Amino acid sequence: MNTSVATQQRVLLTSVCGPLGPRHGDGPSVGYELLHGQVTRAQGIFSPRAVHLNFSLNYIAENLDTPAVVLQYPTRRDLIRELKRGSYDYVGVSFILALFHRMKETVALIRQYSPQSKIVLGGYGTVVPDDVLRPYADHVCREEGVGFFRRLLGRSEIPMPYKHPQILSTLKVFSMTVSRTGMIFAGLGCPNGCDFCCTSHFFKRKHIRLLPEGRDIYAVVEDYLEKDPEMSFVILDEDFLLNKTRALAFRDCVLKGGKALSIFVFSSIKAISQYTVEEILEMGIDGFWIGYEGTRSGYGKQQGRPAADILREFREHGITVLASMILGFDYQNREVIADELAGLMDLKPSFSQFLIYGPTPGTPFYERILREGLLRSDLAANKETYYRKCDGFTTMINHPTLSPEDIEALQRWCYDEDFQRLGPSLFRTVEAWLLGYQKLKDSPRPLLRKRAERFAREIRNAYPIFGVGSLLGPNRAVRRWIRDLEHRVHAEIGRPTLKERAMSLAAFPAAFWTFFTLKAGLFQRPRVRRMVYGMPEADAAARGLEVCVEEPALP
């Protein structure tokens, strides 16, 4: 295709229209916040809050070399307004399977208000067959999105690493912003191939390195640090440490840079077992999402050092762990689940997730469930009801010993027990930081001593939450533990300043405001985020758009 023609094409990339969530007829875990919706859901006002964006939309738009607009969580009105003024050649819609019904609503609006636009469906919702999606799409993307869209637009292929957008996630506690996190898109797919894992089988168990080398990852880190030297990071890669060559090359860059970073990653026991805890800390990694799954689940990714040893060692060195446990394996009954939960609680993870073993199209577990006729009859009879229930919080199969109601009740019990036994994740995190500070402050390794200093700064930033926790914690034992933790922190890090005491007092009305808004369901929907890429400044100004020529504006 002629380049001059291709540059005139306009692209709109959007998430499905809101409002979303159980209040609006969606599944119990569906919403705008992954952490609050699936991890700290039982922790009320103590739940950290961060909006989970459809990052892939911004990533694709950054690399199209053609005018593009990205909408994150528009309402129907927002989308209609954009469609009326856009004259878009292509409209891409990203969705997950649990929001199939929302995708249909979004597509209907596109067809009504921009009938000339070609519709492209993408995201993990496209795991369903072509005949299901054909009524709603002109094109379906089931691969890495940049290459797909560039071919669609007649653009030439470009090598990885692609241009990396700067996308920030803002974390709030008691409705107050406490940190900003830079999102780093390092890879797609996972070779581990767990039988339930949609993300692994979506990419045919291949790992696509969006940032091929360790130095490529560090270059993105440096770009973010120019904006904020104290920024934290999340590296989005299904099993980041599995490629040891790339990980150690990244560590070499961090050591050379000499700055103690704060990075959260996703990784498996198998991958983690390749490293010492000192090597991991020197990479800047101080947080992990680890699939604990079940003690007898038998996945290959669980091979290596005992999970208990790793989680204890990590906690002693200040590394927080989000451990994800699965309910509904064939071998589990009430007693087994209670025992597995007790074992996990003994390891004191900073965060815990409990999801129900569910069959997603394209996975071996789904094929087995269909082959053995184990899908619930009401879901087998109605595909769209089945899609809506693919949320990790609905029992979709006939279990050997537990009813669907039993499993869902046990899931709620696990979340409640996690909160009642271990207390708010906020304070578990602070305790891990305190242990890490004590362990590393006299380390012979310079970067680890800097890591200890960063732990100390992060602990001091958390001083204002102690008063609320010691009075409003979930039970007497947890409140007593929080008060004891506060004494230990003050003895090690220092007494609070006048400013910190004032902030502690201000935390109470902030916490009560958070309680009120949660209870009333107020202000829980994020404002639409609209970003423009690759558009000439004069043209964009005439249309009243925010311009992102070299890089996107920070949300």
Q: 352 in a domain, yes or no?
A: yes
Name the H helices within 28-180. 34-38, 55-62, 76-86, 100-113, 130-133, 145-152
Please check whether residues 229 and 339 belong to one and the same domain: yes
Rounded CA separation 70/52 (Å): 15
CATH classification of the domain holding 35: 3.40.50.280
Q: Return the closest-CA partner of residue 320 out of 453, 426, 236.
A: 426
Rounded CA separation 187/209 (Å): 4
Provide the domain count of the chain: 3
Average pLDDT value over all residues in the chain: 94
For 81, 145, 236, 238, 266, the CA distances from 188, given in Å and listed in that order, are 33, 11, 8, 7, 12
User: Does residue 252 contact residue 193 with C-beta atoms inside 8 Å?
Assistant: no
CB environment 435-453: b (16+ within 10 A), e (fewer) = bbbbbbeebeeebbebbbe
Q: What pLDDT, in 10s, does the model give residues 429-448?
A: 999 999 999 999 999 999 99
| Confidence at residue 535, expressed as pLDDT on a 0 to 100 scale | 72
Q: Beta-strand (E) ranges in 215-260? A: 232-236
| Confidence at residue 545, expressed as pLDDT on a 0 to 100 scale | 47
Residue 425's contacts (CB-CB under 8 Å, 6 or more residues apart) are 39, 40, 43, 46, 47, 48, 350, 351
Please check whether residues 269 and 343 belong to one and the same domain: yes
Last residue of one domain, picked from the residues 432, 454, 477: 432
70 sits in which H/E element? strand 68-72
Q: 76 in a domain, yes or no?
A: yes
Please check whether residues 400 and 494 belong to one and the same domain: no
Q: Is the model's pLDDT at 405 over the cut of 90?
A: yes
Q: Is the model's pLDDT at 542 over the cut of 80?
A: no
Rounded CA separation 539/547 (Å): 10
Q: 475 in a domain, yes or no?
A: yes
Last residue of one domain, picked from the residues 432, 455, 473: 432
Last residue of one domain, picked from the residues 407, 432, 457: 432
Please check whether residues 150 and 211 belong to one and the same domain: no
Rounded CA separation 237/151 (Å): 24
Per-residue confidence band for 423, with pLDDT thresholds at 50, 70 and 90: very high
Q: 301 in a domain, yes or no?
A: yes
Please check whether residues 303 and 336 belong to one and the same domain: yes
| Confidence at residue 540, expressed as pLDDT on a 0 to 100 scale | 52
Please check whether residues 437 and 427 belong to one and the same domain: no
Q: 461 in a domain, yes or no?
A: yes
Q: Return the closest-CA partner of residue 524 out of 533, 512, 515.
A: 515
Per-residue confidence band for 551, with pLDDT thresholds at 50, 70 and 90: very low
Neighbours of 251 (CB within 10 A): 21
Say what percent of the chain tops pLDDT 70. 95
Q: What pLDDT, in 10s, does the model give residues 515-525?
A: 999 999 899 99
Q: 406 in a domain, yes or no?
A: yes
Average pLDDT over residues 63-69: 94
Q: 190 in a domain, yes or no?
A: yes
| Confidence at residue 86, expressed as pLDDT on a 0 to 100 scale | 79
Say what percent of the chain tops pLDDT 90. 93
Q: Is the peptide bond before 129 cis (omega within 30 degrees of 0)?
A: no
Higher-pLDDT residue of 164, 5: 164
Q: Is the model's pLDDT at 547 over the cut of 50?
A: no
Q: Is the model's pLDDT at 550 over the cut of 80?
A: no
| Confidence at residue 42, expressed as pLDDT on a 0 to 100 scale | 98
At 180 the three-state DSSP class reads strand
Give the range of the structural domain holding residue 133, as residue numbers without chain letter: 3-158+527-542
Structure tokens at 161: 């690493």
DSSP codes of every residue in 511-537: HHHHHHHHHHT-S-SPPPEEEEES--H
Average pLDDT over residues 366-381: 97
Structure tokens at 27: 């599944």
Q: Which of 68-72, 73-77, 332-336, 540-544 has the lowest mean pLDDT?
A: 540-544
Neighbours of 410 (CB within 10 A): 22
Q: What pLDDT, in 10s, does the model give residues 132-154?
A: 999 999 999 999 999 999 999 99
| Confidence at residue 534, expressed as pLDDT on a 0 to 100 scale | 85
